[in-house]
Structure 1
Amino acid sequence: MSDCALFYKGSVFFGFFLANETLPSDPFWEKYSRIPDCYTSLDQVTEALQRAGLESSNLIIGVDFTKSNLWTGKQSFNGLSLHHLSETKNPYEQAISIIGKTLAHFDEDNLIPCFGFGDASTHDKLVFSFYPDGRSCNGIDEVLARYKELVPHVQLSGPSSFAPIIQKAVEIVQNSGNLYHVLLIIADGQVTACRSENMSYQEECTIKTIQWASNFPLSIVLVGVGDGPWDLASKYDDFLPLRRFDNFQFVNFTEIMSMSIPDAIKEAQFALKALMEIPSQLAAIQGLGTPDSFVPQLRSTVQLLL
């Protein structure tokens, strides 16, 4: 059993999949309908998601607090830390605000579990809740307010791994009775890599966790802020095998927001790129036979996508 499997052995099901090279495969590779790229406002993107059959998004947010945030804004954020706080929203605040506005219509209880990772207390092993008692934030405004309260007190560190936040999201999905959720990960760079051609521990754990998470009704959206690089994240999006459905979407926030178009259109384009695969993911999730208790919250209109 690999080190990655040993670290996560607290979950028998999880440990089983990390200890084996392959996952049970199912024919969910075909592409379903996506939202077309033709919108100029967040309201239009929201309406498109409604037509696609999304009823409840159950948003979960994960924020990257690795030390590289101090320098990966050199080109894209005037040399400031990507977590720099001022009257103008930093890239993290912008991404949270835009996605939050778009998905707010689909959040029935308005409760958003929020977590940080990569700081000096969690490194690449754990996540920390935005609140010490583990409670969720009540709406996007509270998410942003609590983020601002936390930033001055968080010690940036590393290394970077998305495995812990994905594992936490799956835990939330399981505790909800396997209701559909969307995990929004906002990060300044990709997973810590080895200088050699070998895969790093963090890469191995992240890849296997994404594969394992495809057994659950969870869409993972990775938003890349700052200067990157993002080549590995793009591979997770398009070339990661052994998944029961395409559960991962990468969006280059910096690239979209640097376009020479009106701000409203940029925001709509970002939200669209982040969420456009949800219709096809919902359709694929409906075909998943496991876990046995999985009952997705979809309208009958999603059947039309199959």
Structure 2
Amino acid sequence: MAMTIVEQSGGQYHVLLIIADGQVTRSVDTASGQLSSQEQKTVDAIVKASELPLSIVLVGVGDGPWDMMKEFDDNIPARAFDNFQFVNFSEIMSKNMAQSRKEAAFALSALMEIPPQYKATVELGILGRRSFKSPDRVPLPPPSGSHGAYSYYSSKGFSKPSTYPQSSSSSSPYPHYETPHTATPAAPSATYDNQVCPICLVNPKDMAFGCGHQTCCDCGQILESCPICRTPITTRIKLY
């Protein structure tokens, strides 16, 4: 469905956020090291989605278990670009640090791969164009006659939700989407990329890791692994 939305938007960049409270139940017939049918369908969908300007962020909440998700993330087969990121929310929030630092660490973990993924869609030429490869699925319209919900939102000062326009040439109950005609954003300059932190895209690069990649000090202090090559960070060098 997310791929269809991206396609109908004319190839605009989207981020699909998935909140999961547990892993897929594996059948007793699934051998160790093999994927269940549901897991295989998930992998196939992620690979297919890499043909579109769509990033996927999976946030694990609750007990999980999430120990295999890192391995799952690293072993997805070849894609047009690395479009999938897993974030262990429970692990981050269980750390012994101030709540504000936990929230900052979670936000950074969830968003740190978005800038390079967006850049990859620009370089691959898939941003701002339709691929005609998405499955034919559309989101369901909101339920009708939800007077109680409308009354609640009205009491809170919100305006009445807008209705979905229906196509005059079809009796389908699904909403009709108009594909906007948007120009493809220009790729950022190489000089700008080399000077600005790839995480926040604001501060200059002033911290280097042992692998050689660089970020700003604010982002670099929170990271546990390099956002570019994912090498565990053991050395931080302040640049002047």
Q: TM-score normalised to the size of structure 2? A: 0.52
Give 1:210 deviation, angstroms.
0.3
- Cα distance in 2, alignment partners of residues 303 and 179 from structure 1: 25
Aligned partner of residue 182 in structure 1, secondary structure: strand
Aligned partner of residue 19 in structure 2, secondary structure: strand
- Cα distance in 2, alignment partners of residues 261 and 255 from structure 1: 12
Correspondence 1:71-150 to 2 at 5 A: none
Aligned partner of residue 300 in structure 1, secondary structure: coil
Deviation digits for residues 26-82 of structure 1, max 9, x if unmatched?
Answer: xxxxxxxxxxxxxxxxxxxxxxxxxxxxxxxxxxxxxxxxxxxxxxxxxxxxxxxxx
Q: Which residue of 2 is the match for residue 249 of structure 1?
A: 85
Q: Which residue of 1 is the match for residue 74 of structure 2?
A: 238
Match for residue 203 of structure 1 among 22, 39, 51? 39
- Cα distance in 2, alignment partners of residues 240 and 170 from structure 1: 18
Q: Which amino acid aligns with 2:49?
A: A
The change in CA–CA distance for 1:226 and 1:177 in structure 2 (over 3 A counts) is same
- Cα distance in 1, alignment partners of residues 6 and 45 from structure 2: 14
User: Are the equivalent residues in 2 in contact too, given 1:191–1:202 (CA < 8 A)?
Assistant: yes
Match for residue 226 of structure 1 among 53, 58, 62? 62
Match for residue 285 of structure 1 among 102, 121, 138? 121
Aligned partner of residue 78 in structure 2, secondary structure: coil
User: Are the equivalent residues in 2 in contact too, given 1:190–1:232 (CA < 8 A)?
Assistant: no
Aligned identity (percent) is 53
Q: Which amino acid aligns with 2:188?
A: S
Q: Which amino acid aligns with 1:202?
A: Q
Aligned partner of residue 124 in structure 2, secondary structure: coil
Q: Which residue of 1 is the match for residue 104 of structure 2?
A: 268
The change in CA–CA distance for 1:277 and 1:296 in structure 2 (over 3 A counts) is farther
Question: 295-304 vs 202-211, which deviates more?
Answer: 295-304
Larger Rg: 2
Which 5+ residue runs of structure 2 have no aligned equivalent? 131-182, 195-240
User: Are the equivalent residues in 2 in contact too, given 1:179–1:297 (CA < 8 A)?
Assistant: no
The change in CA–CA distance for 1:289 and 1:299 in structure 2 (over 3 A counts) is closer
Match for residue 300 of structure 1 among 188, 202, 225? 188
Aligned partner of residue 174 in structure 1, secondary structure: helix
The change in CA–CA distance for 1:181 and 1:261 in structure 2 (over 3 A counts) is same
Q: Does 1:175 pair with 2:8?
A: yes
The change in CA–CA distance for 1:218 and 1:236 in structure 2 (over 3 A counts) is farther
Aligned partner of residue 231 in structure 1, secondary structure: coil
Identify which of structures 1 and 2 has the higher relative contact order when contacts are C-alpha pairs closer than 8 Å and 6+ apart.
Answer: 1
Q: Which amino acid aligns with 1:254?
A: S
Give 1:282 deviation, angstroms.
1.3
Aligned partner of residue 57 in structure 2, secondary structure: strand
Which 5+ residue runs of structure 1 have no aligned equivalent? 1-167
> Comparing both structures, which one devotes a greater share of its residues to helix?
1
Aligned partner of residue 244 in structure 1, secondary structure: coil
Deviation digits for residues 146-183 of structure 1, max 9, x if unmatched?
Answer: xxxxxxxxxxxxxxxxxxxxxx1111101100100011
- Cα distance in 2, alignment partners of residues 178 and 228 from structure 1: 34
User: Are the equivalent residues in 1 in contact too, given 2:55–2:117 (CA < 8 A)?
Assistant: yes
- Cα distance in 1, alignment partners of residues 8 and 187 from structure 2: 22
- Cα distance in 1, alignment partners of residues 123 and 41 from structure 2: 26
- Cα distance in 2, alignment partners of residues 303 and 213 from structure 1: 30
Q: Considering only aligned residues, what root-mean-square deviation do their CA atoms show, in Å? A: 2.4
Q: How many residues end up aligned between the 2 structures?
A: 139
User: Are the equivalent residues in 2 in contact too, given 1:183–1:221 (CA < 8 A)?
Assistant: yes
